[in-house]
A and B are shown apart, each in its own frame.
Chain A
Amino acid sequence: QSVLTQPPSVSGAPGQRVTISCTGSSSNIGADYDVHWYQQLPGTAPKLLIYGNNNRPSGVPDRFSGSKSGSSASLAITGLQAEDEADYFCQSYDSSLSGFYVFGTGTKVTVL
């Protein structure tokens, strides 16, 4: 069961900007644990997209950016491209008894 809440879907036309929210609680994001984001293309394993709230691994385009405030975080995709159509998951660490690593519910990004 997912502890972090994301919208099920977002969509945008090519070139537009879309954002995905990730809402947690006082035992995870609100406890000042970092948020990380993963992109999962259809039929493939997740891939690290953003780590430590707003850092991009080598090779990830700067169209992807992350932010965090309070118990929530956001992923923004600017200049949306067809190849960005995928599922996106946020992830953090949780200090409660429910688990150590927690994921978001996932968001499907559709490029119109």
Chain B
Amino acid sequence: EVQLVTSGGGLAKPGGSLRLSCAASGFTFSSYSFSWVRQAPGKGLEWVSSITSSGSFISYADSVKGRFTISRDNARNSLDLQMNSLRDEDTAIYYCAGILAGENWFDPWGQGTLVTVSS
């Protein structure tokens, strides 16, 4: 079964840090680029960051550039997002999502993990 399991969310104070993880199984992890997509409460979807299959190319949305770091470990079939200098507006459900090499749609998706930034 194709599966992405997200973990690491929780409550953080403004200026604090959290590290999200996404564990993949049931498909060839190294054949996919991966992204983090977030959804603020009651709002739409926002692309946050992407990393190519080899990890050689990384991109970030302007809203998180310089604060968030995406990484992957193809040996462990895992994806991470290190979030530093958190702001109130980073409060959202964070989803990891795969992008098959050469394509630009998101499939599969993880179940999401809630990040709440509040003092």
Whether B107 contacts A99 by the Cβ 8 Å rule is no
Interface with A: B7-15, B45-53, B69-77, which one? B45-53
- In A89-111, the 8 Å CB interface with B consists of 89, 91-93, 97-106
Of chain A, the residue at the smallest CB distance from B63 is A1
B47 partner residues in chain A, CB cutoff 8 A: 99-103
Query: Are B61 and A99 closer than 8 Å at their CB atoms?
Result: yes
Q: Do residues B95 and A33 form an inter-chain contact, with CB atoms below 8 A?
A: no
In the assembled complex, which residues on chain B have CB atoms less than 8 Å from the CB atom of A101? 35, 37, 47, 50, 104, 106
- Whether B44 lies near A105 (C-beta < 8 A) is yes
Whether the pair B109, A89 counts as a contact (CB closer than 8 A) is no
Q: Are B46 and A45 in contact (CB under 8 A)?
A: no
A46 and B50 within 8 A (CB): no
Chain B residues within 8 Å of A46, by CB? 37, 45, 95, 106, 109
The count of residues in chain B whose C-beta lies closer than 8 Å to any C-beta of chain A is: 20
**Which of B44, B50, B106 is packed against the most chain A CB atoms within 10 Å?**
B44
**B20-64 Cβ-contact flags toward A at 8 Å (1 or 0):** 000000000000000101000000111100100000000101100
A106 to B2, CA, bound (A): 26
B105 touches A36 (CB 8 A): yes
Within 8 A of B (CB), among A45-63: 45-48, 51-52, 57
Which A residues touch B95, using CB under 8 A? 45-46
Q: Once the chains are docked, how many angstroms separate the CA of A2 from the CA of B45?
A: 8
| Among all A-B residue pairs, the 4 with the closest Cβ atoms | A36-B105, A48-B107, A101-B47, A103-B45
Report if A52-B105 is in contact (Cβ < 8 Å); known contacts: A45-B95, A46-B95, A99-B61.
Answer: yes
* Nearest CB of A to B61, in Å: 5
Residues of chain B lying within 8 A (CB to CB) of residue A93: 104
Question: Are B107's CB and A51's CB within 8 A?
Answer: yes
Least CB distance from A107 to B in Å reads 10
- Residue of A with least CB distance to B4: A45
- Do residues A45 and B106 form an inter-chain contact, with CB atoms below 8 A? no
Neighbouring B residues of A48 by C-beta, 8 Å? 105-107, 109
Interchain nearest-CB distance for B109 vs A (Å): 4
